[in-house]
Amino acid sequence: MQPLDFLKESPSQTAGPYVHIGCVPTFAGVEGVYPEDLGKTMITGDAKGEKITLKGRVIDGSGTPLRDAMIEIWQADANGLFNSPVERRGTADPAFTGWGRQGADGDTGVYTFETVKPGRVPFPDGRLQAPHITMWIVARGINIGLMTRCYFEDEAEANAEDPILARVEHKVRIPTLMAKRDGDTYTFDIYLQGDNETIFFDV
């Protein structure tokens, strides 16, 4: 057998300033590529559960919102089931995609998702995780997409039981993963650097 240790990892590359054009062209003002940008609409019918708006900004180390960030989210439906062929626990809500993609507004830097509040999902050992949304962030200057989670500050009991949050060594940083509620809107700002730097996951 030939040795397989001669292959080297390819260098990472920044997303560049054109990520909106490639991934959300209609949002970027380029019409006619798709009928609708992929991931724009997550609720496709009479979805079960609580309808919520998730919004926020991606903020750099100087405190400036990035206006060319793109965010993708992946989450369970209101019953804690994923819209995925590998979901074995039941059938996910057919009126909810579970996946979304949005660009940050070019003027304000705000991203917005119309979604449902997710249910609890079991950890591999059976313990229930708190309701959460997985987020992936790319923008000009970010060489490798950043992964984080958005939890909900009004789910205190579930958050206290969450096996992922329990693994955070510096508990003072857990609030960086909490979305704040105002009516049916949750605000989740993502800080790339600085005192309020969001916890990112190495996956």
Selected from 2.60.130.10, 3.30.420.10, 2.40.40.20, 3.40.50.300, the CATH number assigned to the domain covering 19-191 reads 2.60.130.10
Give residue 98's pLDDT band: very low, low, confident or very high (50, 70, 90): very high
φ/ψ (deg, to 5) at 112: -145, 130
> What is the per-residue pLDDT for 170?
93
> What is the per-residue pLDDT for 1?
60
Give residue 96's pLDDT band: very low, low, confident or very high (50, 70, 90): very high
> What are the tokens at 81?
């089931």
DSSP SS3 for 166? helix
> What is the per-residue pLDDT for 20?
67
Overall average pLDDT of the 63-72 stretch = 92
Amino acid at 145: G
User: Can you give the residue ranges of every domain in the chain?
Assistant: 19-191
> Rounded CA gap, 78 and 153, in Å?
17
- What is the sign, positive or negative, of the torsion defined by CA atoms of 19, 142, 163, 196? negative
> Rounded CA gap, 122 and 156, in Å?
17
Strands 70-74, 99-103: parallel, antiparallel or unpaired by DSSP? antiparallel
Residue 57's nearest CA partner among 162, 139, 174 is: 139
Q: Quote the pTM value.
A: 0.89
Flag whether pLDDT at 58 surpasses 80.
yes
Flag whether pLDDT at 17 surpasses 80.
no
Helices marked H in the chain — which ranges? 19-23, 156-161
User: Which has the higher per-residue pLDDT, 5 or 156?
Assistant: 156
DSSP SS3 for 195? coil
* Average pLDDT taken over every residue of the chain: 91
> Rounded CA gap, 114 and 100, in Å?
9
Give residue 16's pLDDT band: very low, low, confident or very high (50, 70, 90): low
